[in-house]
Amino acid sequence: KIEYGTNVILIDEERGKRHMTKLREGLRFTTQYGFIEHDEIVKILDGGIITASKGVRYRVLKPTYIDYIMNIKRRAQIIYPKDTAAMLMEGDVYPGLNVLEAGVGQGALSIAILRALGGKGTLTSYELREDFAGDAARFIAEFYGEAPNHDIQVRNIYESIDGEYDRVLLDLPEPWQVVPHLEKGLRQGGLLVCYLPTILQVKSCVDALREAGYYDEISSFELIKRPWKVDGRSVRPEMWTFNHSAFLITCRKVEK
């Protein structure tokens, strides 16, 4: 069942349009096909069908991580799920690790890290802007729930890092400014992952990592998701697709 206070995805069977709405007692979801009472939606099981007042059927779904991230109002640029998946896998994030992340933005990556940690280990998140940190904390509480192993700090990672981490994941404009602080902030054998929209940022960051002299396996790449249309005999890549999100850099800290 999908409960009051949580979000639901409603997909109309006419046009296949997806809507995300938060369920509240006594409220109505209004659409061009009439309305649906929230009090009726809570009676439907995940994956079930509900009919709007003008007779159009809607699929009722509990939002997945991707639904949630792609349907929220954006304030900061979020990380696309294909890249989030790669950051967790290439960064080898698993339960029990102590992970540092900066910046937090809207907290999309924070949620993915917390899920990968599975309640074991810790996530420390540095964010420059107090308003973003507050919004992200609310967003994380809404989708992920209580996270006693998560600490969001309003601070500038370009100035310093407190403590030593197993993994550092960076999504901010100048990660090369963080490299000097990783001398103490990332443990030997630990992994660093950076997410960067432009290739000149990649160059500056890789140059700084090489200059530091204690990073091995420095790898820069991008991931392209190319959807295909599969419709009868028409089987081909979609004509219009989202092309570029960002580049990733991964590397491992080793003895100098």
Task: Give the interface with ligand SAM as residue ranges (CB under 6 A).
Answer: 76-79, 102-109, 126-129, 132, 156-158, 171-172
Q: Shortest Cβ distance from residue 177 to ligand SAM (Å)?
A: 7
Q: Which lies closer to ligand SAM via its Cβ, residue 50 or residue 128? A: 128
Return the closest-CA partner of residue 50 out of 39, 25, 72. 39
Q: Shortest Cβ distance from residue 133 to ligand SAM (Å)?
A: 8
Return the closest-CA partner of residue 208 out of 180, 236, 237. 180
Q: Which lies closer to ligand SAM via its Cβ, residue 14 or residue 151? A: 151
Q: Taking CB positions, which residue lies at the least distance from ligand SAM?
A: 103
Q: Which lies closer to ligand SAM via its Cβ, residue 132 or residue 215? A: 132
Q: Shortest Cβ distance from residue 68 to ligand SAM (Å)?
A: 12
Cα–Cα–Cα angle for 79, 80, 81, rounded to 5 degrees: 115
Q: Shortest Cβ distance from residue 61 to ligand SAM (Å)?
A: 23
Q: Which lies closer to ligand SAM via its Cβ, residue 51 or residue 77? A: 77
Indicate left, alpha or beta for 17 from its phi (over 0: left) and psi (-120 to 50: alpha). beta
Return the closest-CA partner of residue 177 out of 207, 199, 154. 207
Residue 100, strand partner residues: 124, 168
